[in-house]
Amino acid sequence: MLNSFKPTWMVESIYQITPEELRKENIKAILTDLDNTLIAWNNPEATEETIQWIEWMKESGIKVVILSNNTDKRVGKVASILELDFIPSAIKPFTKGFKRAFEDYPYSKEEWLMVGDQVLTDIKGANNAGIKSVLVKPILDSDAWNTRFNRFVELRIMNMLVKRNPEMKWRNSLHDERINE
């Protein structure tokens, strides 16, 4: 059960994920969480770094889709600014949003990657859906009220995971060292 929360990789930030690394893993599409993964949870504006990373992915032929538990209004506003497709109200860690992505886009499960900052929703959801995942550190140390409880539980889960899997360490890239083999 504990392994259902284990990410494929742990990378400090989404910006450290490169098209070259993704190609080595045959990844052609990214599902990314929105709040505290792609942008700060309390700010609907994207940073220049976010915009550049998305453009880099697009130019490299990698599809980026926002997969968020947040509302259509919130996610749609940001997705419009970033010119990205999005799936709101995904109900992660359940597979509803993942299944929609699999139905709406022409990629196999092996070609998808989920990137997110939460073990309980993003990583567990990716594992439930049968795709690879990257856990990133949250952009901000603070969270919305509805995420604070998750962080408390996640800390306990991560402590147990790291104790059982000492190779689980934050990396600077996907290929520093893989966590799941």
Query: pLDDT tens, 158-167?
Result: 888 889 988 8
Q: What is the model's pLDDT at position 180?
A: 47
Q: What is the model's pLDDT at position 181?
A: 43
Prediction pTM value:
0.89
Average pLDDT of 39-43? 70
Q: What is the model's pLDDT at position 140?
A: 62
Average pLDDT of 108-127? 96
C-alpha distance from residue 165 to each of 56, 99, 135, 174, 175 (Å): 33, 30, 15, 17, 17
Low-confidence winner among 43-57, 96-110, 116-130 (lowest mean pLDDT): 43-57
Q: How far apart are CA 17 and CA 102, in angstroms?
A: 22
Sheet holding 112-116, edge to edge: 9-11, 132-136, 112-116, 29-32, 63-67, 85-87
Q: What is the model's pLDDT at position 155?
A: 82
Q: Per-residue pLDDT tens for 4-40?
A: 999 999 999 999 999 999 999 999 999 999 988 998 7
Strand, helix or coil for residue 10: strand
Q: Give all domains of the chain, ordered by start, each with its CATH number.
A: 2-164 (3.40.50.1000)
- 128, β-bridge pairs: none
Q: What is the model's pLDDT at position 23?
A: 96
Q: What is the model's pLDDT at position 93?
A: 96
For 81, list phi and psi in degrees, rounded to 5.
-60, -40
Q: What is the model's pLDDT at position 144?
A: 56
Strand, helix or coil for residue 1: coil
Q: How far apart are CA 48 and CA 37, in angstroms?
A: 14
- Which tokens sit at 81? 């600014």
Average pLDDT of 44-73? 92
**Whether the Cβ atoms of residue 105 and residue 65 lie closer than 8 Å to each other:** yes
